[in-house]
Structure 1
Amino acid sequence: MMTIELNDISYAIDNRTIFQHVNGRLDGGCMIALTGPSGCGKTSLLNIASLLCKPSAGDVVVDGAGTSHWNDRKRRLFWKNKASFIYQDYGLIDDETVLYNLTFKRGFLQSKKTKMPRRLSDLLAETGMLNRVNETAAVLSGGEKQRIAIVRALWKRSAYIFADEPTASLDAANRKMVVDLLKSAVRKGACVVVSTHDLELANVCDQVIDLSQ
């Protein structure tokens, strides 16, 4: 089974301890919430679990392999082959089209013989964004940008999805859509890890790691 294990993880910045001795198991087919007050290190722990950041102590074990001695190449392979990210600031390039932000390919559908992949068109239709693919990301609202970020993460079919405050600043309708999409990924076997202040989101997760304790 796909699993990320957090083994006695501690993290400090400039000799200031952010958190220490955190343990947890992040399994495929589960949604895990990282919770706690502002400044407690939710995003830092998310970045450590996703190998974007190294802990001050402890080890992250991915699918049975310790990562403390992984070089940059091994980390990049993990991100490429197994991970997707949903950033709090959406991670979109504002002056590029929605389609480019999803595919990172210019002229993706310029040929009349080229059709949009069925899964991508289905996700865009489900999020109400199918007719916006040729617009630049700059004209989208915050909720629309979040939907595109979610589509990009889900289309990749990653084993692990890491989401930083995915429901922050969303209205009720967009919030429900984001939660439903993340849960659909879980039902298909993905491990979804979210850092969040949203107690309602935390309550629908299968596991909560509370950094305030």
Structure 2
Amino acid sequence: MIRAEGVSVFIGKKEVVSDVTLTCKAGEMTALIGPSGCGKTTLLHALGLLLPVNKGAIFYKEHNYTKASTSQIKRFWQQEVAFILQDYGIMDEESVGFNVTMQKDLFGKKVKGDLARLRDVLEQTGLSNREQELASYLSGGEKQRLALARAIYKNAKVLYADEPTASLDAKNREKIIALFRDFANKGYTVIISTHDAALIEACDVCYEVQSNRIARK
């Protein structure tokens, strides 16, 4: 569970996120919504500890991470969460397989890790039999799905996604939304910044960033 209490974030002297109190529960999909420039991506980054908060606190499993050390935050990123950001976070010069497992042999040539699980998550995300392919060959939508494959492989407890369906066609959008839903149904927390009506409809909770309103379905 991720919880924000009275969180405000300034970029320079401008208050981009103002006095947000929000709980994102395990087993639920939470949508951060609002018009472009309202601060939903900034709030997503703050909830993921990618941005420091100027006021208030961010809690994970009731631990106040605004007071956490650098090493504690790094462990949070490495062990607990996964991010699907607008730049995908994909290493173009590496293979699809390595981008999922993030492991290689000592010579840097062979992908290591749970290879059966790798094949399974690539199948789930529509990237079957492409583990040897360079990520640079993938389209924008395929890179988005590759980022999700990495999150599923990692078995992250919290998934943060920034406009994850923005570059997808209708068929792939449905597939990604179903994967997010499955991720949440397994008891994990999914937090999404989006303006996609279909994705918003699939979420359990919608938080309007600009007006600080919460709608629960």
Taking structure 1 as the reference length, the TM-score comes to: 0.92
Kindly state the Cα deviation for residue 104 of structure 1 after the two structures are TM-superposed: 2.0
What amino acid sits opposite 1:159 in the alignment? K
Kindly state the Cα deviation for residue 190 of structure 1 after the two structures are TM-superposed: 0.6
Per-residue displacement from partner, 1:136-184 (whole Å, max 9, x unpaired)?
1111111111111110011111110111111012100111111111111
Taking structure 2 as the reference length, the TM-score comes to: 0.91
What amino acid sits opposite 1:20 in the alignment? S
- Alignment RMSD (CA, Å): 1.8
What amino acid sits opposite 2:210 in the alignment? S
Farther-moved stretch of structure 1 (27-36 vs 116-125): 116-125
What amino acid sits opposite 2:209 in the alignment? L
Pairing 1:156-167 to 2, within 5 Å after superposition:
156-167=154-165
Distance 1:205 1:42, change over 3 A: same
Aligned residues: 209
Q: Counterparts of 2:11 and 2:34 in 1: how far apart (Å)?
A: 18
Q: Counterparts of 1:98 and 1:118 in 2: how far apart (Å)?
A: 15
Per-residue displacement from partner, 1:35-61 (whole Å, max 9, x unpaired)?
111111111111111111111111011
CA contact (8 A) 1:4 1:61 kept: yes
2:95 pairs with 1:97: yes
Gaps of 5+ in 2: 212-217
2:187 pairs with 1:189: yes
1:7 aligns with: 5
Gaps of 5+ in 1: none
Determine which of 61, 68, 89 is the counterpart of 2:59.
61
1:135 aligns with: 133
2:70 aligns with: 72
CA contact (8 A) 1:28 1:190 kept: yes
Pairing 1:10-49 to 2, within 5 Å after superposition:
10-49=8-47
Per-residue displacement from partner, 1:120-143 (whole Å, max 9, x unpaired)?
211211222121111111111111
1:173 aligns with: 171
Percent of pairs identical after alignment? Answer: 38
Per-residue displacement from partner, 1:84-115 (whole Å, max 9, x unpaired)?
1111111111111111111222358959xx89
Kindly state the Cα deviation for residue 212 of structure 1 after the two structures are TM-superposed: 2.4
SS at match of 2:15: strand
More contact order relative to length (CA 8 Å, sep ≥ 6): 1
